[in-house]
Structure 1
Amino acid sequence: MCAAVLTVGLLAVPAQADASGGAAQLHGASWALKGTGKEVRFRGLSAVSRSTAWVAGSKGTVLRTVDGGRSWSDVSPPAAVAEGLELRDIEAFDARRAVALSIGEGEASRVLRTEDGGATWTETFRNPDPRAFYDCLTFFDSRRGLAVSDPVDGKFRLLSTADGGRTWQPLPADGMPEALPGEAGFAASGQCLVSAGPKDVWLATGGGAAARILHSADRGLNWTVAESTVPAGDPARGVFALAFRDRTRGLAVGGDYRTGQPSPQAAARSSDAGRTWSASATPPPAYRSGAAWYPYGPNTALAVGPTGTDVTTDGGRNWRALEAGSFDTIDCAPDAGCWASGEKGRVARLEARG
């Protein structure tokens, strides 16, 4: 099923076209579905380029394309398939190297790594603590990265790697603020933990009395916390995804993931590294679980969720609904290869109208 045409300048647009914060030049573009032959839900996605992308999902499934989605290789880790692991995040460095995270209580939370395009996988972490539940991964570069668990002993727990995910060590909890009662991260799109630059990282939360966003400027050792404007106060509500263009400009999207529930004020923006957040004047019309900045427009970004895709061309102040197709997550590569994935094996790439 073909998606509707996007009437914003998202393809073949020079960066300066959007430099002043105005709308980009109009070039028709739409989500072009790329048949995967699978029916699983892909909540993990990593866009390497317009030609190369990885998706990870339920039943231990990992797919990879190197030809723009014309064909997909099933590179699922055999052990993950055998155990039916829920793979909710994947971070790829190129067409051969990727790190995937499975979620769940105790040993269900694992990290897997491949160096040969998914031909073989190595389990590099298995959670030994039944109280921990890992949600998301992020990498600062091809060596340094973090993984986050829901609170244990009242604080979010972090793992750190300095060798591309080959080994992981827990970070001390001294610099982590106390979690609110019921507060947790959402393993909905692989975007509850995101980074920008060599040291800055942000963590999105929900489920507590407030939907908060935590920031560290030293790769997770010390954190500050700010309340977002996204409503919380319920286990199903909060910030589900973050996207930072650089170390200062960020977007937050979320809402209430329950079908049919209203999600007012489902987006916010920050221009000071997450110290403060302002509600979008015109937010997306419903819950959104994924967000990404578009590389060729400094003020242009996309958000996706089960009921559609939205775009902002003014840095998150105002969002416009574009399509009704269901996606859980989105990622844009530096060459403007934007991909989205979600339920029933859906994967799409943003393409110019032909």
Structure 2
Amino acid sequence: MRFFIILLAAITLISCEDKTEIEFNSVKITPVFIDSLSIRAIQPLDENRVWFAADKGKVGLIDGDTPKLAVIKYEDSLLHFRSIAVTKEAVFVLSVANPAVLYKIGFNGAEATNIEEVYNEKDENVFYDSMKFWNDNEGIAIGDPTKNCMSVIITRDGGNTWEKLSCKNLPKVEKGEAAFAASNSNIAIFGDNAWVATGGKKSRVMHTADKGKTWAVFDTPIVQGKAMTGIFSIDFLDENNGIIFGGDWEDKPFNEGNKAITKNGGKTWKLIANGKEPGYRSSVKYVPGTEGQGIVAVGSPGISFSGDGGKNWKELSKEGFFAIEFVNDSVAFASGNNRISKLVFTK
């Protein structure tokens, strides 16, 4: 009987770890919006609708073949947006540089209803990078340091008001440590957790397990030491399993120390496919419904896919994008220079 129990436990353990690989062999890329914009922040609603925020003050909802667009001005300036988040009743867009201005756009499911400024920060060093919501009431945005910690602002009331956390409650940054506003994806959310990826001369992962009340910070093996090295994107499958991706923006083919996974909530990270393709990528996402086996990473050099949890990768397209967001297990939207495209992955 004892032998049978041990054997059964071993079989169960093997079956849990030996997850089935998935396979994408191609991707169909269909432009859904073309304009002379740099688009680094997108948020799909379904297979036909996607919100975006871009430079030149441009914000919009692409609804099938119909773009519903607006231009937001702050005083006489056109803002540059690289952060976007969507709740049940609103869309939030946040500009990058001084002044950082956060707008709440009312949304009734079909049309924007109103727009209001809900946060404004003036500082010569202010630069916000990305934004996410835990739920319809609580959200977070992060930016480069203005003092000796990363800039973190939190809302607890559906985005009507935002409060910047004191550096007394955040990990201190190292010299030259900041973040990249490359794809609105250096924050990952799961449950009450948030993980924030930094880069530059130091590249680490900050973690909160209680929606921003307390924080820890963990080292990573990602390439770092220069202004344009480090983690550009982070994603989590659950509270334990996550992936970070980046590299050297000034040497995009370089593929050592640019991708890693964690199995313990970000406390430790292990390099994957080190010295193998792909090199630099600016946005990485787990494919929904694949138990962490399917991963897609995009960047200006192209689109890459792994079907075995990041061990092996292949290039699906040389068409470059900044950001990718999945709708389901085969459809995503991606944004880049001058365009948003729908991506359909096939086996």
**How far 1:190 moved relative to its partner?**
0.5
**What is the 5 A alignment of 1:182-331?**
182-197=176-191, 199-208=192-201, 210-258=202-250, 262-282=254-274, 283-298=276-291, 299-331=293-325
Q: What are the superposed Cα offsets for residues 188-213 of structure 1, whole Å, 9 maximum, x if unpaired?
A: 1111122111x1001111112x3111
Contact 1:50 1:335 in 2 (8 A): no
Q: Are 2:58 and 2:72, in contact at CA under 8 Å, matched by a contact in 1?
A: no
- What amino acid is the match of 1:255? G
**Match for residue 33 of structure 2 among 36, 45, 50:** 36
Q: TM-score, normalised by structure 2?
A: 0.87
Q: Does the 8 A contact of 1:264 with 1:285 survive in 2?
A: no
Alignment equivalent of 1:147, drawn from 137, 141, 153: 141
Q: Which residue of 1 aligns with 2:96?
A: 103
Query: 2:107 matched to 1:113?
Result: no
Q: Kindly report the root-mean-square deviation, in angstroms, between the aligned alpha carbons of the 2 structures.
A: 2.4
Deviation at 1:353, TM superposition (A): 6.0
Does the CA contact (< 8 Å) of 1:176 and 1:221 recur in 2? no
Question: Deviations 1:18-59 (Å, cap 9, x if unpaired)?
Answer: 9943322x5655242224131201100112221221111111
Gap runs ≥5 in structure 2 = 1-15
How far apart, CA to CA, are the structure 1 residues paired with 2:221 and 2:312?
15
- Residue by residue over 1:113-167, the C-alpha shift from the partner in whole angstroms, topping out at 9 and shown as x without a partner, is 1113435321111113333322111111111011112123211121110122121
- Pairwise CA distance, 1:266: 1.5
Q: Which has the larger radius of gyration?
A: 2
* 1:169-184 to 2 correspondences below 5 Å: 169-184=163-178
Aligned residue type for 1:202? W
1:167 and 2:161 matched? yes
Contact 2:87–2:133, Cα closer than 8 Å, also in 1: no
Q: Which residue of 1 aligns with 2:128?
A: 134
Letter in 2 for 1:206: G
SS at match of 2:56: helix
Distance in 2 (alpha carbons) for counterparts of 1:268 and 1:353:
26
TM-score (normalizing by structure 1):
0.85
Indicate yes or no: 2:42 matched with 1:45.
yes
Letter in 2 for 1:159: I
Of 329, 336, 342, the residue aligned with 2:336 is: 342
Q: Does 1:71 align with 2:66?
A: yes
Shift of 1:294: 1.0
Distance change in 2, residues 1:353/1:228 (3 Å): closer
Aligned to 1:61: 58
Q: How many residues align?
A: 327
Partner Cα distance (1:335, 1:260) in 2: 28
Distance 2:251 2:290 in 1: 32
Question: CA offsets per residue over residues 173-231 of structure 1, 9 Å max, x none?
Answer: 3231111101001111111122111x1001111112x3111111111222222122210
- Using the TM superposition, name which of 48-57 and 242-251 deviates more: 48-57
Q: Which residues of structure 1 form unaligned runs of 5+? A: 1-17
Q: Which residue of 150, 156, 177 maps to 1:156?
A: 150
Q: What is the identity percentage for the equivalent residue pairs of Structure 1 and Structure 2?
A: 26
Change (3 A) 1:38 1:302: same
Q: Contact 2:33 / 2:341 at 8 angstroms: preserved in 1?
A: no
Paired residue type of 1:166: N
* Structure 1 Cα separation of the partners of residues 222 and 209 of structure 2: 23
